Amino acid sequence: MIHSASTYRGKVAIYFYVFVETSKAMGRTVYAEERLHNYLTSLAKPDEYTIGLIVGQSVGQRDYIVHLAKTPPPLGKNVVEETLLSSTAEAEQNTAVENHIRAVKDIPESWVADHAKHVTRMLPGGMRVLGTFIVGPEDITNNNSNVQKLRSVLATMQKNLSCNKYLCGDNNEEHLILNLNSVTQKYTCKSVEIHTSGILKPADWKFQAKATKWHQLEALVDFDRLFLIAANKDPETLKKQLQDILKSVSDIIESSLIVIEGEVRSPNDTLELISKSKKDEKNSKNNEKNNNDQSIQINLYIPCEEKNMNSDVKITPCSASIRLVGQLVSRTFVHQKANVEEANIAIKQDIIRSLASRLEMHWDSLIEEENGSPEENITLHEPPRRVLIALPESKVTLSDYLFPGEGPQEALLSLQELLDLEVQENNVQKDIELEADPSEFYSQNKIDVKTTDLNIDSTGNRQTKIYIASVSIAILIVILAIIIQKLY
């Protein structure tokens, strides 16, 4: 396809016509809700560019978009990336006006990439950042250097996501670029394979009044697993230990068998069929009308066929153990026509992504590695717990993670910050996972104390909080930034 820089209206119209025809033949088709059109239009400003992320589910040549999220404006150069999560960033916004994007070349790549990482954490399994949208006073994809820049933005994003495989955010073959010309109010969509040709292909973006229907899948994953720390090994950082745990758990989840509503289904069965039979059965039992928000119950089983016949008993002197225990609530959405295989992949992704997000957030929040004093025999690490927030006019929920002591208002802040969404506090489903009761873990009779724990006395119950919420770090950094700005 030739991208002439022509601005004649007539020619554009013809070009557009050709593009629609071609897309029918080969390009991607993208379905989005009308509400997102309004959102996109609302971002239009006469002399500024707004960049953001396209979020949804991709199946073959079709994409179902659930959300568009504006990337918050970057802050001063001295500010580290963590500020993105900061609740005070919003206040900062007003003082940092000069950071607004005046030209496509000014788009901060790593900033957008970082935004993509944070947004990916909030997505249910099976959904990803599918690409980027840009609102600005021109047809951006008609300009070669702009296209170059956007490719580079997507490549940075991809690179950033792929170095974190447990976030399951980088399996895009193609990325979408959606452009709204704030002058003409026309939008165009292209797809691009950044790893190969890099050529823009037309895609058919459809805003439609009728929302995509989603199947909701729910699983409660019970963890109770012991990980050992060998005594003869050099001590590793907690971060490394948690990464090992993540890998181990991820392998188990990947190997597990997904059971849908008590049955193992063939990969090609459609979920519609399962939903329908569930509905029929429910109707026959009692005439419940409220079947719309029913979810499909999922169970996970680990096959234990004897693959390795190793009958060794391994005895290892250990210096510590880490027990991962608790319940992870997984809620996944797949589009209406999805089959069992797609659902299976989405569910596993959701569980692994959710665990990875928590553990990452946890180790990022640790301020000091505790090689602590000998009397600290038991430490409870509480990674943040999941809360779910429904998207407007949709049953699709996104996740946020709250550290102990944080409340739903924290979730609202990150939602506004990262997804540009205003949500009421009562839309936060905050009780799907509970905060653990630390005293249960510090009480001595619950754990194996056959060894001589002479050091444990009444002060052994002392709870050391080894994390601090990122909020506080952010505040410090922002204050620092302001001081630096004032100084120079």
Partner 1 sequence: MAPQLRILSNVIERLKNIKDDVTGHLYGVMYNNTLTVLTFSINVTDNVEANINHTMLQLHMSAEVYLCGILHVGQCEEKLPEMFQDIDITDNPLFLKYTHDNLKTQAYFYIHLKLEPVNDIKIINENDIRREFIYIRLRGSLPLIAQNDNIIEVLEESKKSIVSGKVGIHFPSKNAFIFNSENIEKDISLREILNIFDSEGNKNVKKDVKPTGIEDAVNAYILLKISGDRLPEENVRYAPVLQYIKRPFNSLECNLFIDTLSLVNLNVSSADLYGILVESMCRNIKLIEKCFENQLQKSETSIKLPLPIHFKPQGFGHLITVVYPSGYSDKETMEYRENLHKILGLNMTRPYFRYGNAVKFYDSQTESILINPHEAISTNDDIINGNRRVQIVQGLYMYRHYMQDNFDDNGWGCAYRSLQTIISWFRLQGYTEIPIPSHRLIQKCLVDIGDKPSNFVNSKQWIGSTEVGFVLESLLDITVKVLCASTGEEVSSLAPNLLHHFQTQGTPVMIGGGVLAHTILGISYDQITGDVKFLILDPHYTGSEHLPTIINKGWCGWKSKDFWKKDAFYNMCLPQRPVCI
Nearer CB in complex with partner 1: 154/324: 324
Q: Is 207 in the site for partner 1 (CB under 8 A)?
A: no
* Cβ-contact 201, 151 below 8 angstroms: no
Burial 89-100 (b: 16+ CB within 10 A, else e): beebeeebeebe
Residue 199 contacts partner 1 per CB under 8 A: no
Residue 487 in the binding site for partner 1 (CB under 8 A): no
Confirm or reject binding of residue 280 to partner 1 (CB under 8 A): no
Site for partner 1, residues 235 to 274, rule: CB under 8 A = 238, 242, 245, 252, 256-257, 259, 262-264
Alpha-carbon distance of 388 to 192, in angstroms, equals 32
Question: Which residue, 22, 43, 26, 250, is CA-closest to 132?
Answer: 43
The one among 22, 143, 270, 299 contacting partner 1 by CB under 8 A: 299
Based on the shown chain and the rule CB under 8 A, indicate whether residue 234 belongs to the binding site for partner 1: no
Is residue 341 involved in binding partner 1 (CB under 8 A)? no
What is the rounded CA–CA span in Å between residue 462 and residue 469? Answer: 20
Residue 416 in tokens = 């506004």
Minimum distance, C-beta of residue 270 to partner 1, in the bound complex (Å) = 20
Q: Indicate which single residue of 2, 25, 313, 487 sits in contact with partner 1 (rule: CB under 8 A).
A: 313
Find the part of the chain contacting partner 1 (CB under 8 A) among 7-15, 88-96, 161-169, 295-303.
295-303
Residue 447 binds partner 1, judged by CB under 8 A: yes
Residue 186 contacts by C-beta under 8 Å, 6 or more apart in sequence?
A: 139, 180
Residue 119 C-beta: closest distance to partner 1, Å: 21
| By CB under 8 A, residue 448 contacts partner 1 | yes
Would you give the binding string for partner 1 spanning residues 1-40, x where CB under 8 A is met?
A: ----------------------------------------
Measuring CA to CA, how many Å separate 427 from each of 122, 143, 412? 15, 42, 9
Q: CA distances (Å), 360 to each of 79, 118, 162, 255, 312, in order? A: 21, 11, 15, 23, 35
**Selected binder of partner 1 within 222, 236, 251, 254 (CB under 8 A):** 222
Location of structure tokens 């996970």: 300
Which residues are CB-contacts of 135 (< 8 A; sequence separation ≥ 6)? 40, 43, 44, 45, 49, 50, 52, 179, 180, 182
- Alpha-carbon distance of 54 to 150, in angstroms, equals 14
Question: Does the protein bind partner 1 through residue 286 (CB under 8 A)?
Answer: no
Which residues, in sequence order, are CB contacts of 380 under 8 Å at separation 6+? 436, 438, 441, 442, 463
The site that binds partner 1 (CB under 8 A) totals a number of residues, namely 78
Q: Which is nearer to partner 1, 271 or 300 (CB)?
A: 300
The answer to whether the CB of 238 falls within 8 A of the CB of 305 is: no
Residue 433 touches partner 1, criterion: CB under 8 A: yes
Distance between CA atoms of residues 218 and 260, nearest Å: 10
Of the listed pieces 64-72, 102-110, 174-182, 304-312, which binds partner 1 according to CB under 8 A?
Answer: 304-312
Out of 302, 424, 457, 458, the only residue in the binding site for partner 1 (CB under 8 A) is: 302
Q: Which span (93-101, 153-161, 309-317, 419-427) binds partner 1, by CB under 8 A?
A: 309-317
Q: Is 221 in the site for partner 1 (CB under 8 A)?
A: yes
Distance CA 301, CA 346 (A): 16
Of 88, 110, 243, 327, the one binding partner 1 by CB under 8 A: 327
Applying CB under 8 A, among 26, 97, 209, 304 the residue interacting with partner 1 is 304
Q: Which amino acid is at 152?
A: S
Please identify which residue in 105, 206, 240, 323 interacts with partner 1, judged by CB under 8 A.
323
Residue tagged 């609530």 (tokens): 329
List, edge to edge, every strand of the sheet that includes 397-402.
Answer: 397-402, 385-390, 428-429
DSSP state of 167: G
> Binding string to partner 1 for residues 351 to 390, with x set by CB under 8 A, is what?
----x--x---------------x-xxxxxxxxxxx----
Give the nearest distance from C-beta 322 to partner 1 in angstroms.
5
Stretch that binds partner 1, among 12-20, 155-163, 170-178, 223-231 (CB under 8 A): 223-231
DSSP SS3 for 151: helix
80 versus 434: smaller Cβ distance to partner 1 = 434
State which of residues 91, 231, 273, 480 lies at the interface with partner 1 (CB under 8 A).
231
The CA-based angle 137-144-191, given to 5 degrees, is: 85
